[in-house]
Amino acid sequence: MVKGPDMLISEFARATDLPVDTIRFYIAKGLLKPERSAKGGANPYQMFRQEDVTAARMIRLQQTLGYSLGEILALNEEYRAGEHSPERTIEVLQMQIARLEERRAALDAALSFLRGKVEWIKAGKPDGAPRLEDYRC
């Protein structure tokens, strides 16, 4: 494990393209756990590593996929809990994969519906418009 140079919160904000306030919000929620630097006196500065950047990217990704921060936190903690058991890790990953596949199926259905509608209009709106009910999503 190569340790990249730690960074302060403003640099981390640039690295992740997230507002500082949002980062602090995620820390308060337990989604990010930066180390504390020796600097900063009574309120030590938080130091972020490269893996925190990855974690932040993962959070944003999971968010776009419809997970709430609470769910993301739960998933991440479950992941950490079984970090030293490959079987458990794979199990958690498989669950996430299954959920994403469901979402993908719904998305595909929606795309089929919209494409069907475009075709139907291009065909001059013949009888039998594509019906959303016919697409499993």
CB of 7 to DNA, least distance (A): 8
SS (H, E, C) the chain: CCCCCCECHHHHHHHHCCCHHHHHHHHHHCCCCCEECCCCCCCCCEEECHHHHHHHHHHHHHHHCCCCHHHHHHHHHHHHHCCCCHHHHHHHHHHHHHHHHHHHHHHHHHHHHHHHHHHHHHCCCCCCCCCHHHCCC
Please report whether residue 14 would count as binding DNA according to CB under 7 A: no
Q: Which of 33, 44, 93, 108 binds DNA (CB under 7 A)?
A: 44
Find the binding residues for DNA in span 53-72 (CB under 7 A): 63, 68-70
Residue 41 binds which of a second copy, DNA, none (CB < 5-8 A, kind-dependent): DNA
Q: Between residue 40 and residue 69, which ones bind a second copy under the rule CB under 8 A? A: 54, 57-58, 61, 64-66
